[in-house]
Amino acid sequence: MTASTRRRKAFGTTALLLAMMLIGGWLNASSHALLLGPVGVSPRVPEADALRTEAWRLVGQAIPSEEVAVLPLPETWIPPRHSPSPAVVEEPSPVREPLLVMPRLVEPVRIRIPSIGVDAPIQAVDLAPDGSLAITDDGDTVFWYRGSAYPGWPGRALLAGHLDRVEGGWAVFAGLHRLQPGSVVLLELADGRVLHYTVTGQARVASTDLPAELLTGENSSELVLITCAGWWDPQRRVYSDNLLVFTRFDGLAPLS
C-alpha cells in the first residue's frame, strides 16, 4: 500500500471535524489553537474528548512551503478641511461608510475568487452537541462557522475549505497560496448582496502554534480563509502548517 493510498484510506474513514475551543467564548477567548489535518489517533491527543480542545482540524494536501508574512491593514487618515473664510460654509468631506453597513445578519452562500478560479457554494455550520463540528468531505464546498463574525459586521468571519479530495485531485482551496495583496474576494449573501473584500496578506503558522492574535479582529471587519499547508506527517496524520489568508471588507460590490 502506497503512502498516498494509506492517506486516502484515513481520509475516507474519517469525517472532517472542526472542534471549537469554548473556554471563555469562541471569538472572545484569550487564546486559540488551529490544527489542520485528518482526525485520527495522535500521540499528542490520544483521546476523542481531547479533540474538542482543538480549534480546527481540516484535511488537505501539502502546498509549496515558502514563508509568507502577515501584512498589517492600512490605516487611513482623512485630514480636516478648513473654510477659506468665516463667511463661507463648506460641505463636510466625504467619508467612508460606517463599518456596520449591513442592516441585518445575513449568511454567506457563495464565494468567488476570480484570480484563482474559485466559484463555490458556502455551507454554514454549527457546533454539534459534543462540542465538535462535523464537516463533509465535499471538496467543492467552503464552510463558514456561524460562531464567527457575520460577513460585513465587525469581527472576523472564518471560512475553511479542503485542498484535496478523498478520491484524489485538488479541491476548492488548492490555489489559496497564490493569492497576493490586492486580490479580490467576493462573498454573496443569502439576500443577494455581494460583499467586496481585498486580500491584505497571508500567515503561515505551525499547525500546533497558532498565535491568538491571528483570530481576533473585534475592531475591524475581515474575512479569513483557512486551509492546510506544509508537509504531511504520517505519524500524527496531520499537515505541518496552516495557511491563513486575511482580507479586508471594502463594502458592497457594484452591481454587474
The pLDDT score that the predictor gives to residue 148 is 86
Residue type, 102: M
- Mean pLDDT on 102-119: 92
For residue 35, give the DSSP letter.
-
Collapsed DSSP state (helix, strand, coil) of residue 39: coil
pLDDT in tens, 14-59: 233 333 332 223 332 222 333 433 333 333 333 333 333 333 333 3
**204 vs 24 pLDDT, higher one:** 204
CATH number of 3-65+101-252: 2.40.260.10
pTM comes to 0.63
**How far apart are the C-alpha atoms of 207 and 241, rounded to whole Å?**
5
Q: Can you give the pLDDT at residue 63?
A: 36
**DSSP secondary structure string for all residues of 121-178:** EEEEE---TTSEEEE---TT-EEEETTSPPTTSSEEEEEEE-SB-TTSSB-TTTTGGG
More confident residue, 135 or 120: 120
Contact 201, 144 (CB under 8 A): no
Please count the CA atoms within 13 angstroms of the CA of 126 that sit on its side-chain side. 3
194 falls in which pLDDT band (50, 70, 90)?
A: very high
Measuring CA to CA, which residue among 8, 223, 43, 191 is closest to residue 109? 191
In the chain, where the domains are located: 3-65+101-252
pLDDT band for position 193 (50/70/90)?
A: very high
pLDDT digits (tens, 9 = 90+) for 142-175: 999 888 899 999 889 989 898 888 788 899 999 9
| Average pLDDT of the segment spanning 108-126 | 96
In angstroms, the first-to-last Cα distance of the chain is 51
